[in-house]
Amino acid sequence: MSANSRLTVAAHTLTWIGLYQRRGHEVATSEQIAASVNTNPVVIRRLLAQLRKAGLTDSRRGVGAGWMLSRNLSAITLLDVYEAVEPGPIFALHRSAPDPECVVGHGIAPAMTAVYDGIEATLRKELAGTTLEDVLQNVLNAT
């Protein structure tokens, strides 16, 4: 499908900040997070800016700058993160509209849309069932 890693990296990032704050630190820098994720700090800053727009994080500038969570890990579900970083749907319809004169060409888009809508709804329900606190606990139990 050409899946991307944004949900994974976003969950990693937020969980990292949450654990870091829990250990008594005020803010986390994009450089620290990038070291854990093994990527470039700009990639993390871009992601965190999206998450801030969604109200999940906040940032501080100047000396002592860095990032913090806007809410507790237990108050952030994977659905929140998903909606913040994944704009589009999972399945796409036709690239260019099919022949409207053909019965199938005319009716296939609404038919598939109905199926896809059901799938997206189920996906959301599933994502909403896991909080980042759950993820952190799972991480800490991973030996």
Partner DNA sequence: CCATATTGTAACTGTAATGGTTACGATGGC
Partner DNA sequence: GCCATCGTAACCATTACAGTTACAATATGG
- Reference 5, options 92, 118, 95, 81; nearest CA is 81
CB of 52 to its own copies, least distance (A): 20
Interacting partner of 75 out of DNA, its own copies, none (Cβ under 5 to 8 A depending on kind): none
| Contact status, residue 45 vs residue 30, Cβ threshold 8 Å | yes
Going through 6-134 in order, the beta strands assigned E by DSSP cover 57-60, 66-69
Label residue 59 exposed, middle or buried (CB < 10 Å: 0-12, 13-18, 19+): middle
Only one of the segments 33-41, 76-84, 98-106, 130-138 lies at the binding site for DNA (rule: CB under 7 A); that segment is 33-41
Q: What phi-psi label fits residue 7: left (phi over 0), alpha (psi between -120 and 50 degrees) or beta? A: alpha
Site for DNA in 77-136 (CB under 7 A): 92, 95-96
Phi, psi of 111 (to 5 degrees): -65, -45
Position among 35, 49, 75, 128 found at the interface with its own copies (CB under 8 A) = 35
Position among 11, 17, 66, 135 found at the interface with DNA (CB under 7 A) = 66
Under the binding rule (CB under 7 A), the answer on residue 29 touching DNA is: yes
Rule CB under 8 A: which residues touch its own copies?
A: 1-5, 7-9, 11-12, 15-16, 19, 35-39, 78, 86-99, 102-112, 114-115, 118-119, 122-123, 126-127, 130, 135, 138-143
